[in-house]
Each structure stands twice: as structure tokens, then as C-alpha cells.
Amino acid sequence: MTHDNTPNDERIDGTESDAGARDGTESGPDPASTRRGLLRAAAGATVAGAASTAGCLGVSTPADVAAQNEVTGNVAHFVGPSWLADNRDDVVVLDARDAERFRTERIYGARRVPFDAITSRESTDAGLIPDAEAIAAAFGEVGVSPDDDVLVYGASVGSRVTRVAFALAAVGHAGSIRVLNGGLSGWNGRLGTGSRDRVSPAEYEPDPAESTRVTREWLADRVGTFNDDGPGLVDVRVAEAYVGAAGADALDPDNDRHGHLPGAIGVHWVGNVSGRRLTEPSRLVQLYEAEAELDRESTVVVYGGENVDPTSTWLTLRAIGFSDVRLYDGGFAEWANVDGDRGRYPVETATNVVIETDGSVGEDGGGGDFSCTG
């Protein structure tokens, strides 16, 4: 059961207003934004029967855009706008975007995640791991309880969104964790603006899930076995960073060494995303099983430069049925700059396997606001 403390239709000091009344002045709502809000409302909160408009050919309505972001096939964790419309009262909705975008426009009743907190790490003898106490406190601050069913959205299904999903899993979240395919642009239901709602903080005691992550020492113990007779290992950075190409802009100047962990294969995480949506699941299966030759029944570890981007691959692999996917939260930055005997933490630059991807994050031609001219 969820415990959504967002007030229904309540406006507190202008903190949550309908998208049809954006300017906040006494003179009333802006006509253009009011029209936009009315058109969104007319389109309905579900995608059944996408509307056609008399006299308008080739128009993309909010319902059309929502329909393009529905999730089909045997895919876990990612859901479309119609799922959210049907379950809005039963889930806590978390916004992974920055504060400015959140204030400008958001799903009505959504709560913004303090992103810096949910990426925080703590140092252990085995290496960096997610800071469960800090992460749990951040979720509790916005009223999330451990047993709440949660849906996360952003501008797309990019790595900020998947980092929130990972952070929930890392602290042992008991409720379900879902991501909205298409992000905010795919949602045709009610919108809000302004500062966040006043919500009551929740008690969130973390129950860290070690099965979600590995440490530097865990990896060091298995060097020489990756993608052979040991775990699968995926480097999600661009190819230039993977091979340590001299002079490449992709190289982090703060790293003492460049290249990748021995045996890792390179699959840039952007291949998981097509515009604002999850890449077609059949293409993802082809990418990771046929081309990368990963075993869905074996342990697969993903890492990047830091701990945000690789969560896209972490969630994508779980979504298409990989049974044991883990994140190296320390990332290549920790591995490359480790103190002490670096022979235990080797770096290689010779190309092992780099799989080409053709994904993109951003505009996808999916259509914008409803409009009809002429």
C-alpha cells in the first residue's frame, strides 16, 4: 500500500497550480497556456482512441504522443502514460529533473528528488559504495516510505531517471519501482507548476541490498575472468574513453590512468535510449545478447566514469530479463586513481570488444503541444 501525502487539489501559497494558470498574477491565466491545458484535458489521461481534429491533417495531439510512449512486450520496470493514468492515485511520483524545470512544469503532485543526495557514496575498506543512510534520508524527506510503489520520470528515460530507480533499489525499497517511458513530454494528464507541495517527511530505514552493487575489491578478486568464465562486465562510456584514446575530449583529466578494466566490453549507454523513450526491446535483446554475448542467467556488472550513466544499462538489462545485474558505484574514476599497489587494479587500453550503438537522448520527433493552423 502506498502513502501519498500530496494534497488533492490543494494549493498552498501558490505551490501547486494547474498548468492552465501559469503566470500567477491577479489578472488571470495566460490565454495560450490555458488553451494548452484545456487541450491536454480534452485529450484525456489515457491513450485509447487518439483524437483526430476536423480540418487538421498530420496533427500530433497529446494523445498521439502518449500513444507513442506505450510499452509493449515482455518488459519490466518501464511503463507508458496510460499505466500512470490508471494508477496515479496508488503511486508516489518522483521527478528526477532539476529544480528550475520542476517549477516550470511537472506531473501534478510529483515530488522532486534531491539528486545530489541519491548519488552520494561512502568509503569502505572494499571501496566506494552507495551511502544508504544519506539516500534513504533523501527519500524520506520527500515523503517516500519503504513500502510505497514509486514511479520516476524526467525529461526522458535518461540516466538521471535510472539513477533514482537504482538508488531506491540500493536501499532495499520494498515497493515497486517504475520509470515513465517518454518522460514528461509523453504525459497528457494533469500538470502542475510552482514550488513543491508541502508533504510530511517519512521514516525511511534503509535495508541495503548488496545484490545491487559490487565493490572495487570484489572486482579485483575476479580480474582475468570477466566475460570469460566469470561475470559479464560492461563499460558504458564512449569508445574513446574505453580505449583511452590519447588527446580525446572524452578522457577525464582528473584520472591518473586511462582505458578500461581488463576484459570489459564497451557498450555506450546511450544505445538504451531512442529520443526520450526506451529503445525498442527487440533491439536491446539483439544488442546485449547477440552482439555483446552477455548471459542473461549470469551475473553482469556495469560501470562508467562515475555512478549515474551506468544505471541506464543496469535498469535496461533488468527490464529485458537479465537476472543478476549489479553496479560498480565507484566507477572507473575510483579504479584508475586507486592508492597503493596498482598491479591489483590493472587498466588496459587494447580493444577487447566495442559494440556500436545508435541511440540518442533528447528530441525524437515525437511531436510537441497540440496545434492547428490554417
Any residues with CB less than 8 A from the CB of 103 and at least 6 apart, and which? 193, 194, 195
Which has the closest alpha carbon to 297: 353, 232, 246? 232
For the stretch 120-162, pLDDT in tens is: 999 999 999 999 999 999 999 999 999 999 999 999 999 999 9
Rounded to an integer, what is the distance from CA 220 to the centroid of its chain?
28
pLDDT of residue 293: 96
Any residues with CB less than 8 A from the CB of 328 and at least 6 apart, and which? 213, 214, 215, 216, 219, 301, 302, 303, 310, 335
The grid cell for 48 is 485509447
pLDDT of residue 369: 32
Residue written as grid cell 587494447: 350
Question: Percentage of the chain with pLDDT > 90?
Answer: 73
Return the domain boundaries, the chain: 17-24+31-208, 211-361
Fold: same for 17-24+31-208 and 211-361:
yes
Complete DSSP assignment for 157-209:
SSHHHHHHHHHHHHTT--S-EEEETTGGGG--S-EEESSPP------------
pLDDT of residue 44: 38
* DSSP 8-state code for residue 233: E
Pick the CATH number of 17-24+31-208 from 3.30.70.940, 3.40.50.620, 3.40.250.10, 3.30.565.10: 3.40.250.10
Continuous H helices in 56-174:
62-68, 81-87, 99-104, 115-118, 132-141, 159-170
Is 80 exceeded by the pLDDT of residue 36? no
d(CA 184, CA 97): 10
Minimum mean pLDDT range among 78-82, 195-199, 267-271, 314-318 = 195-199
Minimum mean pLDDT range among 272-281, 350-359, 365-374 = 365-374
Residue written as grid cell 561475470: 231
Is 80 exceeded by the pLDDT of residue 9? no
Is 50 exceeded by the pLDDT of residue 21? no
pLDDT of residue 362: 67
Top-confidence residue, 170 or 60: 170
| Cβ–Cβ under 8 Å, residues 255 and 333 | yes
Is 80 exceeded by the pLDDT of residue 27? no
Is 90 exceeded by the pLDDT of residue 343? yes
Give CATH superfamily name and number for 211-361. Answer: Rhodanese-like domain (3.40.250.10)
Is 50 exceeded by the pLDDT of residue 15? no
Is 50 exceeded by the pLDDT of residue 74? yes
pLDDT of residue 350: 83
Is 60 exceeded by the pLDDT of residue 54? no
Is 90 exceeded by the pLDDT of residue 373? no
pLDDT of residue 32: 42
The grid cell for 145 is 516510505
Top-confidence residue, 53 or 323: 323
Top-confidence residue, 31 or 142: 142
Average confidence score pLDDT of the chain: 84
The pTM assigned to this predicted structure is: 0.82
